[in-house]
Structure 1
Amino acid sequence: MITLEGITKVYKNGPLEVQALMPLDLHIEKGEFVAIMGSSGSGKSTLMNIIGCLDIPTAGSYELDGDPVQSLSEEELSRVRNRKIGFVFQSFNLLGRQTVLQNVTLPMMYAGISREKRNERALELLGRVGLAERVKHRPNELSGGQKQRVAIARALTMNAPILLADEPTGNLDTKSSYEIMELFKEIHADGTTIVLVTHEPDIAEHADRIITFGDGRILSDKRKGSVSL
């Protein structure tokens, strides 16, 4: 599903260069639930942005579902992000003036899906994440956990085979964090490939595979019940 080979990332600021990712190889199979662990500045979010086609590597190759990402145009990359990848962010990224229902329908609107089908799909997903009674509310009327549930529903609208979550519990209390992780487990059980970035070991433990990052390198790669890869 996800194959990275010799991936590096260098950021330039005038004469200065910062290497965020050292050369790395990573393969994630279809249907895996992977947590990427690491402290701030370790390179884990840079890796997530590359996997999500939000950033391009300085060197190396990336294949997503068999397609070489580096050869895609901006329009093609946008289509990949819309149809193959669902995104969940720490800050929720909801539109404050839009209702819960309108926020969830946005990816489908960009894909040209009719309003009737958009609303039908959004209502189905909001029911799944336990927010059927909140469809007309706006984000400022929701708790942090509820906002993240809206964001998850939005990420699922296009039936994307991959769900990327960048610190999805970072702004939540402990109870809400575990409820969100249980929701991710349910989504994973349906066959979705999940890649989750976190700095919290207890959150990472919900995944089946934990990759630890440090200084732009993979320090360890462990599957539950196995030794480091």
Structure 2
Amino acid sequence: MITLTDISKLYQNGAVEVTAIKQISLNIKKGEFVSIMGPSGSGKSTLMNIIGCLDTQDSGSYELDGIQIESLQEKELDRVRNQKIGFIFQSFNLLPKQTILRNVELPMIYGLYSRKERVERAQLLLDKVGLGDRIKNRPNELSGGQRQRVAIARALAMNPSILLADEPTGNLDTASAADIMHLFSQLNEEGTTVILVTHDPQIADYGTRIVLFGDGEIRSDVRKTHDRNVGETSGLTREFWHRT
């Protein structure tokens, strides 16, 4: 589904040129749950932005679901983002003055759904994340974990094949974080490809594959075996932190 080949990204910081990622090559198959992990400044968020078509690489090629991304114009990129990728962020990014039903409905305005279809689908998605009885509430009337559930429902609005989550549990307590990660696991089991950026080894362990980043390069790429439970990979990540 995703093929990155020799991807590099440079940033200009005054007179200094900073390399964010260096000739990264990465393949992600449909239905994988990939945790991208690394310390601050390691390049993981830059990679996430490129995968999500929010930024472009300076060199290398990116193929998404058979589409050569660097050849697309901005309107075509907008269409890819809207139809193929659902985004989930640490800060939720909900509209505070709108009901949660309206928040989930909004991405569908740019699709082919009628008003009735949008409302019905938003209701179904909020039911799916356990908030079907709160559709008239606004975000400030919900807990952090509930707001992240709304954000997940919104990300699913256009039925994307990929969910990109950037530190989705960073603002949540431990219990709420576990609930959100179990929801990601459930969505992955239903066939959604999940790509998650985190600095937390315990959160990364929910993935079926863990890609460890350091200094703009992939340092390790580990696929978990089917009989390995959540938490058992943390020794690998602890060893990585010790080395770096």
Same fold (TM over 0.5): yes
- SS state of the match for residue 170, structure 2? coil
Q: Which runs of 5+ in 1 are unaligned?
A: none
Partner of 1:206: 206
Letter in 1 for 2:107: P
What is the deviation of 1:13? 3.1
Provide the C-alpha distance between the structure 2 equivalents of 1:110 and 1:138, rounded to a whole number of angstroms.
22
Partner of 1:2: 2
Provide the C-alpha distance between the structure 2 equivalents of 1:123 and 1:225, rounded to a whole number of angstroms.
36
Letter in 1 for 2:114: S
What is the deviation of 1:217? 0.4
- Pairing of 1:44-193 with structure 2 (within 5 A): 44-193=44-193
What is the deviation of 1:112? 4.2
Consecutive aligned runs of 4 or more in structure 1 exceeding 3 Å deviation? none
What is the deviation of 1:12? 1.4
Q: TM-score, normalised by structure 1?
A: 0.97
Partner of 2:32: 32
Q: Which runs of 5+ in 2 are unaligned?
A: 227-235, 237-244
What is the deviation of 1:4? 0.2
Provide the C-alpha distance between the structure 1 equivalents of 2:15 and 2:66, rounded to a whole number of angstroms.
37
Provide the C-alpha distance between the structure 2 equivalents of 1:109 and 1:134, rounded to a whole number of angstroms.
21
Provide the C-alpha distance between the structure 1 equivalents of 2:31 and 2:211, rounded to a whole number of angstroms.
16
- Count of matched residue positions in the alignment of Structure 1 and Structure 2: 227
Provide the C-alpha distance between the structure 1 equivalents of 2:184 and 2:167, rounded to a whole number of angstroms.
13
What is the deviation of 1:204? 0.6
Q: TM-score, normalised by structure 2?
A: 0.91
Letter in 1 for 2:183: L
Letter in 2 for 1:87: F
Letter in 1 for 2:97: R
> Could you give the per-residue CA deviations for residues 179-218 of structure 1, whole angstroms, max 9, x where no partner exists?
0000001100110111000000001111100000011000
Instruction: State the identity %.
Output: 64
> Could you give the per-residue CA deviations for residues 79-130 of structure 1, whole angstroms, max 9, x where no partner exists?
0000000000000010111110010011101224211000000000000100
- SS state of the match for residue 219, structure 2? strand
